[in-house]
Structure 1
């Protein structure tokens, strides 16, 4: 059997496996909610907790609409509550199942067009492909790249990251740039950005970017492998980890990894419902995945100048704190964040929103137990950010044809922040 025919057979088999996979979203729809003020935002927050809504984007009053997925059971109360408060809403996706099936078809067609092999940073790679790429980089470039197995996920998957350094991290005059991705499983478009960063630093460093090796790099492309794999095989919109605690709840798995850090834990922006997407877990660092991020931050505390916790979607560069207070270096945080946003905006597609930069609570929503806040408060990382990548009009289902564009523009922002980090670390600013 020829390679091309074999690939077609493989795709047909994948289609058969995927058929019916999205039935759990039968009758669900996604709606934009027009928020004009904080009062309307608070009404939506109350609905989120009461109905356990899946809020895809919380919105910025008078700037950006909220985006909410509603189940058939929740629609009557959701719509009636909005209407009783004269809050406008509209249909963004009338059929979630169809939208997810279209997304799967986009991925299949993309892979077929690239049947000779797409690099993992220009694709939606699976867990094994991600690790294989990092292992190859470490094997072929041992003078600059080292792979580290940090520990296992709840389900026993080794979680790996790359250390990139010309001095094997021995030169303490060099700041460290730490980035991770896919702590929220359904945010597939985040992992390619980290893999592309590895590619640029190790395999394709431009002559005018040699100064980036004056910085040491830690890149963790897949922080939540269990949830990520589950979002490929079972539930495309799965967000949480996959830990199982039947003594707490016998049917609901996982916690919101970005609410599980030991900083203002379980105070604001969380739900006590173990089935909620914002359930923080039974205690801080209950998840091995968040403990791994914690341990990396602790191991290199004092040298990590930038921590970039990468998410999607919405075009935001956010900094602490999630309870609406500000770090003492808020001006510097905003300066570096704005420089990043401007670098990405300079390359963005016309259909994309401009990046919004600011405090995570004031610009987006209140939160507690976030990786961003933990890095700044507990570790003392001067520049700790949450980066929300573009979703365009596709929300979480960004077609893979957009990956290269997102990689290119995000890399420009990463380059800008790395250079500023070096200047701040050496006292140049």
Structure 2
């Protein structure tokens, strides 16, 4: 008993150290589990959709029901509902297992490893193999612009609802009247920490390889300017560090007529085909679309900035990095029955080049396809806006590692491998696009 008390005391001390570093997400997931449900046929898929609709406001669906038989559904179940959910699944003869038996334990271990970690004092001390709180990401953007001012410039996208700066970078090594551009972004969903980490790694690697005269990167940057916003949902990201590790949405309070809860799913708030299928009108849902398109100051600021740039340069590639499940997703997202655009064959060929490049790095398998047909419908989505709103022929949402063992709680030792394979994919995409550009 004394040993157990000592262990708990030590854990508490460690967590206080974490709190001193960057804040610590409260122990609100005690007893929670992530349960994985696997369908065997179409009737299972139909049942899972009904299950999702029934429990959407009570459970956190990490992976929603899709169009694919055998593709799993992952759901975070609080302790108070585990018996009920297990009973429902067993009673309907569904195939399920526990993917994460102790969600809070995984979170605690993640923060314990970060306890006492010093802030990087300069850009050359920045560690790309660990997760960083938002103040360090923001400072990294500033430092990148200062250290590499010959080819990198920083810009202010907008100021968040809670008053934080959302900053981005532009990599440009030359100018010309016909030079085209690329847009990279991450962190639209707050809990997907590997997304900003991957975007920052890719950014640094592009600059490093260009200055090392790596011919592939020199050729790409001679032909394209690249705009990069590593963390879009800055308030939500801070909230995951300080209060609720698995928070997804923005942090703006919503009107009472929509339920009065906090936050909007930024990836249902884009203006193209906003408000349709796969986006909730209820503010307490994790997929709340917002009271109107671009209701969130972060989304409005980002689209305004990007569209202003699009008046000056044609965008050819748009990538919005997410996690998890290892996918390359192309338009359309808003409707599975929508006729695919004429550009779809080229989008698929480019995605094939990307996932082939990923496989060659660490052997990881990514699947690609039109989003709504491969997964599920999600109106007001980034990839659809990137294609039709921004005008980028090649527009994707990329779901990063893993395939569900850790989900949104991906360990830090997977950051670099994940980022390396997606850097290879980004280069392959840029080369494919340039070779096929008119």
TM-score (norm 2): 0.87
Question: Would the alpha carbon gap of residues 287 and 327 (structure 1) be closer, same or farther in structure 2, given more than 3 Å must change?
Answer: same
Secondary structure, counterpart of 1:149 in structure 2: strand
| C-alpha contact (below 8 Å) 1:106/1:399 kept by paired residues | no
Report the counterpart of residue 338 of structure 1 in structure 2: 352
Q: Point out where structure 1 has 5 or more consecutive residues left out of the alignment.
A: 1-9
2:327 aligned with 1:320: no
The Cα offsets for residues 285-304 of structure 1, whole Å up to 9 and x where unpaired, read as 00011113322331233611
Report the counterpart of residue 14 of structure 1 in structure 2: 17
CA distance in 2, matches of 1:22, 1:194: 27
1:108-127 residue pairs with structure 2 within 5 A? 108=115, 111=117, 119-127=126-134
| C-alpha contact (below 8 Å) 1:22/1:235 kept by paired residues | yes
CA distance in 2, matches of 1:253, 1:239: 11
* Aligned equivalent of 1:184, options 189, 198, 206: 189
Report the counterpart of residue 432 of structure 2 in structure 1: 420
- The number of equivalent residue pairs is 410
2:293 aligned with 1:284: yes
Report the counterpart of residue 60 of structure 2 in structure 1: 54
> C-alpha root-mean-square deviation of aligned residues, in Å?
2.5
2:350 aligned with 1:357: no
Report the counterpart of residue 241 of structure 2 in structure 1: 232
CA distance in 2, matches of 1:348, 1:42: 35
| C-alpha contact (below 8 Å) 2:42/2:69 kept by paired residues | no
CA distance in 2, matches of 1:249, 1:59: 25
Shift of 1:174: 2.3
Deviates more, 1:36-45 or 1:326-335: 36-45
CA distance in 2, matches of 1:12, 1:236: 14
Secondary structure, counterpart of 2:409 in structure 1: coil
The Cα offsets for residues 147-196 of structure 1, whole Å up to 9 and x where unpaired, read as 110111111111110011013xx424222110100000000001122111
| C-alpha contact (below 8 Å) 1:334/1:357 kept by paired residues | yes
* Aligned equivalent of 2:220, options 207, 212, 215: 212
CA distance in 1, matches of 2:259, 2:329: 35
2:37 aligned with 1:33: yes
CA distance in 2, matches of 1:422, 1:124: 33
Report the counterpart of residue 152 of structure 1 in structure 2: 159
CA distance in 1, matches of 2:391, 2:166: 24
CA distance in 2, matches of 1:108, 1:260: 35
| C-alpha contact (below 8 Å) 1:174/1:422 kept by paired residues | no
CA distance in 2, matches of 1:16, 1:201: 34
| C-alpha contact (below 8 Å) 1:49/1:271 kept by paired residues | no
CA distance in 2, matches of 1:225, 1:78: 33
| C-alpha contact (below 8 Å) 2:158/2:301 kept by paired residues | yes
2:204 aligned with 1:199: yes
Question: Would the alpha carbon gap of residues 175 and 32 (structure 1) be closer, same or farther in structure 2, given more than 3 Å must change?
Answer: same
Question: Would the alpha carbon gap of residues 268 and 249 (structure 1) be closer, same or farther in structure 2, given more than 3 Å must change?
Answer: closer
Question: Would the alpha carbon gap of residues 159 and 140 (structure 1) be closer, same or farther in structure 2, given more than 3 Å must change?
Answer: same
TM-score (norm 1): 0.88
Secondary structure, counterpart of 2:395 in structure 1: strand
CA distance in 2, matches of 1:115, 1:87: 52
2:148 aligned with 1:134: no
Shift of 1:404: 1.3
Secondary structure, counterpart of 2:28 in structure 1: helix
* Aligned equivalent of 1:408, options 404, 413, 420: 420
2:397 aligned with 1:390: no
Secondary structure, counterpart of 1:123 in structure 2: coil
